[in-house]
Amino acid sequence: MAHKKDVNYFNTFVELAGYSCKAANLLNEIMNNFQAQDLEAKMKEMHAIEHDGDLARHAMVKKLAREFITPIEREDIMAMADQIDDVTDTIEDVLMRMYMFNIKSVRQHALKMTEIIVKCCNALKLALDEFHNFRKSQKLHQLIVEINFLEEEGDKLFTEATRDLYVSCKDPLEVIAWDQLFHYLERCCDACEEVSNVIESVIMKNS
């Protein structure tokens, strides 16, 4: 059982993952109720989530700089915080590019990929809820497997989406825009898997 002050780091990981879940849910809402004229306002809403996540990460780094004893290695704490932060950043990147590319309508595969991103983030948050008890947890391994499975599903959807885009779309500008957007959507799932890789690395180091 981790000491109370140790749990603070693990609690921060869960908090950071919570911002990733908020970002994923917002992106999903935007995709499913798409209004091109609202994208600029939605970007501000998304950035506020990302900014709150940054503030939580900075507070944790400040605390880490003052402490000599940590529950896991300092570099692992930093790697975990950075990788979770990257999940939120990557989700924000999708929305920014929808605005930059002047997207007027959403393709069906994008809806499916966003749904996978939401599931990935939810599984990641559940895994981080268990992370403080990584030596004894009966659930953590299965949650990591679930994240990996969802990332593979995201890869399959990315392949299908890109194929469908080049087969069915005749507008070259739309092809260019969505080709990049599908890459960014797929990267969101990759970012979640990177966090699970850090979790596995910590487990191996401390077993």
- In this model, does residue 1 exceed pLDDT 50? no
Residue-wise pLDDT tens digits, 138-157: 899 999 999 999 999 999 99
Specify the pLDDT at position 16: 97
Q: Dihedral sign, CA of 153, 158, 24, 106?
A: negative
- Cα 118 from Cα 195, distance rounded (Å): 15
Specify the pLDDT at position 163: 98
Sorted by sequence, the CB contacts under 8 Å of residue 142 that are 6+ apart come out as: none
- The residue behind tokens 């402490």 is 67
- Cα 93 from Cα 204, distance rounded (Å): 32
Which string of DSSP letters, residue by residue, matches 76-140? Answer: HHHHHHHHHHHHHHHHHHHHHHHHHTT--S--HHHHHHHHHHHHHHHHHHHHHHHHTTTTT-SSH
Spatial CA neighbour of 117 closest among 82, 93, 99: 93
Domain spans of the chain, in order of start? 4-205
Sorted by sequence, the CB contacts under 8 Å of residue 7 that are 6+ apart come out as: 132
Percent of the chain residues past pLDDT 70, beyond the cut: 97
90 contacts 46 by C-beta, under 8 angstroms:
no
Residue-wise pLDDT tens digits, 97-124: 999 999 999 999 999 999 999 999 999 9
- The residue behind tokens 């981790």 is 2
Cα three-residue angle 199-204-207, rounded to 5 degrees: 115
Please tell me the CATH code under which domain 4-205 is placed: 1.20.58.220
Residue-wise pLDDT tens digits, 57-80: 999 998 888 887 888 888 999 999
